[in-house]
Structure 1
């Protein structure tokens, strides 16, 4: 029994010593960075059309169907598939009774349009009666190959870290060993594009009577840092 106790005590001391053992391997900690900017190629636009009275006369109303037809034709002319245009909301689902009670009742519709080139907006908005456009805005945007780009940048950042660790270690006459630890640090910067910018472009078409200049859409910036720890042989 005494021998068993001594053996158990010795085992406990051994385990405790192993747990407290310090990693004495020679190591180097470095970071690698890779970044890139891309222009969004998937953009969702919000468009609101609203009926209006010509010279305030209810008998000279520009109907929502006329404005809608202008929008449809402009989208087709711009080469955008019709399924890319969706109705977000309608000011009234039952407009007939309201129009009977109030001849000046004005219907409005909100649409969501998917485009792959923001500059096509100039072609579209220039073909729609500007008085019938209540507002426009950018809802959201994305890059179609964003996941592949993220993967590529992470790999490049990791490779950059290894290159840095290699020349630093070799400068001391040592050799780089295997990687011990890798930690990822990402920074994705999606641009903010305000509605006022879009409204300004549509106003320019109306005031000048010509096409607006190209819209300079801010780019998405992706930046990744890979923090690594390598062993020194």
Structure 2
């Protein structure tokens, strides 16, 4: 999954074992630092990722499914099916996938460690997501008992696009923006963010900015969003 650029928890090290996939009936690869895995014919599709031989993204996801949490699975699925052209880290040349494509593969594989997690995660996947933290924030709101926000909501005024909010409650005019490091380190981006927030507030929107700290100590953020929602009802 990491080779494809999809979000995966933890960090990779040079000492991490490599999984080598062979078809059923082939000799299992046995060597130090290598884990052999047999798959039925037609399940895995060989793929060259740059100079690295590997498997297709869906096979990679299914092989990792048993090690991911429910939320980590949704984050991976959101990335895998995103139609956004600015999702960070994704490798160029990756196949275009939809939830239906993954569901079809899931039916073909039937059962494997984490298969139920994949199935449940597909029902929580949303299109157009632009970052892992955007998914993490959306899932946090749901866990906190808040309504599910709209993903990448476009805000227009008199037919003119003013902004596109990471997450939003359009009927309540509440926009939720995740601020990654690029928003902090780029002077131009920071200025654009400030100007956009002013424009939205002039139009009566509440703008709530989220940072990584909010996803670690979540209570203040959830309380703030709850107050904003209550103020608009």
TM-score over 0.5 for the pair: no
TM range (shorter): under 0.3
TM-score, structure 2 normalization: 0.22
Using CA pairs below 8 Å that are at least 6 residues apart, which structure has the higher relative contact order?
A: 1
The structure with the largest strand share of the pair is: 1
Larger gyration radius, structure 1 or structure 2: 1
